Every structure is written in C-alpha cells, then in structure tokens.
Amino acid sequence: MDDATGTRGDALWSSPLRFQLWSYGVGHSTLTIRSQSGQGQDTEPIGLHFEAVERMNIGRSFQGLSLEPADDALLEEIAATGSLQPRPNPLLAIALRSRDARSWIVCSRVRVGVWVSNDGQSGFTLDPIHFSTRTSRPT
C-alpha cells in the first residue's frame, strides 16, 4: 500500500492533496469533491465531478484521495443497499480511498479538472477519466 495515497497500486487516479465534499446537485445528481487551497500546490484547486450519481456512501473530507475500481467485496456491499434504477448507460462503481477512510460512489461518469477563473467566469476545466477496467454495473 502506498503511504501517500492509501492505494494498492491499481488506482485510476490519485492525489496526495486534501479534498473535501464541495457540492451536490439534486436536479442532475451531480457531486463535486474539491482539493482544499493553501496546500503549497503550484496549480489551482483540483475538482472531481461525478455525474448521474445513483448511490453513494461518502465522507466529508479526504487526506490524499485515490479512485479505484470497485472490487468484488465492495460490489456486494453496494448491492446490499438495494437495487439500482435501470439506465441506458452502464454505471461505474468507484471506491474512493484516503489515508483514513473508504467511501464509494455509483455514477455514470467522472471528470477531473482544475478550478479556473477567467473574465468573471469561474468553474472547472474538466476532462473525463477513461475507465478501462471493471466498469461494473452492480446488481
């Protein structure tokens, strides 16, 4: 296990920064987690944007954050929370790991970007994370 991120080496994305739950939009079921400022980083804050969130079990803050594909045990835990609504696109079951906690999210897409502010406009410049393994739909 990597001491900096709490990952086992199979992370889809990771950062040693401290992150916090930033916002949740009920209308489109979107969740944003953002790095905290003042961590000596050279870039603007990093944001993770989860779209079409179907289900989640999540903490409020993360010291170091790693996104990993859900393993079989986590898929069973998610399935035990009840059935998921059918969707036209497959859902992603994602483990969020930090040094001291584990959370999970079931969603349709995750995008990662940096916070920018230009000419009075501010927001994240977001790029999708391309999941190439275990994009499993929990039953």
φ, ψ for residue 118 (rounded to 5)?
Answer: -130, 130
Convert the pLDDT of each residue in 23-36 to its tens digit: 999 988 999 999 97
φ, ψ for residue 72 (rounded to 5)?
Answer: -60, -40
Strands lying side by side in the sheet with 92-97:
55-57, 102-107, 92-97, 61-69, 13-25, 30-35, 46-51, 109-118, 121-128
Note the pTM of the prediction, 2 decimals: 0.77
Quote the CA–CA distance of 46 and 67 in Å, as a whole number.
14
Convert the pLDDT of each residue in 51-95 to its tens digit: 889 999 999 999 999 999 999 999 999 989 987 776 666 788 999
Task: List the chain domain ranges.
Answer: 13-128
Helix, strand, coil proportions of the chain in percent (round to 5)?
5, 50, 45
Convert the pLDDT of each residue in 35-47 to its tens digit: 977 666 566 788 8
Helix ranges, the chain (H): 72-79
DSSP 3-state assignment of 77? helix
